[in-house]
Amino acid sequence: MKLLAPALAAALLAAGGAVAADIGAQKTVELKNNAGQAIGTATLTEAPKGVLMRLEVSGLTPGWHGLHFHEKGDCSKSDFTSAGGHVHTEASMVHGLLNPDANEAGDLPNLYVGADGKGVVELFSTYVSFDGQSGRAALMDDDGAAVVIHASPDDHKTQPIGGAGARVACGAIAG
């Protein structure tokens, strides 16, 4: 795989495309619940036009849960408010994948958790990158970012967080 990533980057550069220095670079983040117990992982992979994330969790309440990238890689408070708001690139923050005025780069689809308390999702965000490539929000800037799971589903339009409720899991993304 290490040989494939430079070859892909060289091919894209030859074709005139902008390429991040570490296409294919990965970062694995441990997710913890409000009691500080490890409940899963999120593996993030840098791609030419965004970030691919595979998330696996257990021990959550069955049903849909809001899922977002938050602006600080700090999960130190048990309510995870230390992770700040959603990742964004503009001063004003408008939430919602279904909102035509939205500009939050941290907005993601919901996570579904089965009756056994386990959830698995693989998703791709074109709004972020590891280092701010092509003007996208940087997940691994000076203060990092976090993957946060909420107690309720995100309706993708209500301000400020789509009605997703309390933060029930957090994983710090740091460089």
> Within 10 A of 37 (CB to CB), how many other CB atoms are there?
10
Hey, where are the domains in the chain? 25-173
Across the range 94-98, mean pLDDT stands at 90
Q: What is the pLDDT of residues 132-156, one digit of tens each?
A: 888 899 999 999 999 999 999 999 9
The pair of structure tokens assigned to 63 is: 């049903």
Distances (CA, A) of 59 to 36, 113, 131: 13, 9, 32
Residue predicted with more confidence, 75 or 88: 75
Task: Using a cut of 0.75, tell me whether the model's pTM lies above it.
Answer: yes
Distance, CA of 120 to CA of 114 (rounded, Å): 9
pLDDT, the chain, mean: 88
Structure confidence at residue 10 (pLDDT) = 42
> ∠62-75-174 over CA atoms, to 5°?
110
Q: 25-173 belongs to which CATH class?
A: mainly beta
